[in-house]
Structure 1
Amino acid sequence: MSSTTALKELSDLLGFLGNEQRLRILRAIAEEEKYAREISEELGISRPLVTIYLKQLEKRGLAVGTARVTDDPPLMRRYYRAVPFALVVDLDLIKNLREE
């Protein structure tokens, strides 16, 4: 985050990351890539919800998905891995937030 970050942008990101299931999914793909069903079984979260959260993580640039052909059904799987990032929120950042 830069000093020109908008208040709403930071609030949205913190709210997004404040979801326990999203954090668990992010942690699950932090060290090795996995596909939705694998994550679903590992975490005990429904596959449709895992898929939604993975797409949201990808849209925000926190994860990257790669489609691959496999020998086992389904023949096409999308594997996800976390993208390294740092988020530092301190008083200086908060003082310099734009109101936009």
Structure 2
Amino acid sequence: MLSPTSIPELAKLLSFLGNEQRLNILMAISREEKFAREISEEVGISRPLVNIYLKQFEKAGLVVGTNRVSDDPPYLKRYYKAVPFELMVNLDLIEKMGEV
């Protein structure tokens, strides 16, 4: 479960997840791992932008990337898979953050 501990952390996380393109990327890799080109083609976003988002997801701990060697070019591919998570936001949580 994601556990932001302050109002700024919660706002940053909600802002990050409140993007339709990012949510589509998470959906694309929620059940099976894919590499950036596959994700780009599936969600209709440029590969450079997909790579930027995937790096942000990895930094946030929401996605895991694994390098694999292939017989076909490109010979090294990085596959991504979403990490299961739960985010619960309610008034009690927001109140507790204000007390910290």
Instruction: Give the TM-score taking structure 2 as reference length.
Output: 0.93
Partner SS, residue 42 of structure 1: helix
The C-alpha deviation readout for 1:29-49, integer Å capped at 9, x for no partner, is 000000000001111110000
CA distance in 2, matches of 1:66, 1:58: 11
Is 1:63 the counterpart of 2:91? The answer is no
Percentage of matched positions with identical amino acids: 68
Q: Mark the CA change 1:99 to 1:55 in structure 2 (over 3 Å): closer, same or farther.
A: farther
Aligned residue in 1 for 2:76: 76
Q: Which residue of 1 aligns with 2:18?
A: 18
Tell me the residue number matched to 1:9. 9
The structure where helix makes up a greater share of residues is 2
Gaps of 5+ in 2: none
- Highest relative contact order (Cα 8 Å, sep 6+), 1 or 2? 1
Paired residues of 1:24 and 1:43 also in contact (CA < 8 A) = yes
Q: Name the SS for the 2:97 alignment partner.
A: coil
Structure 1 unmatched runs, 5+: none
Q: Deviations over 1:53-97 (max 9, x none)?
A: 000000000000000001110000000000010000011001111
What is the number of residues matched between the two proteins? 99
Give the 4+ runs in structure 1 shifted more than 6 A: none
Let me know the Cα RMSD of the aligned residues. 1.6
What is the rounded CA distance, in whole Å, between the counterparts of 1:78 and 1:36 in structure 2? 7
TM-score, with length taken from structure 1 = 0.93
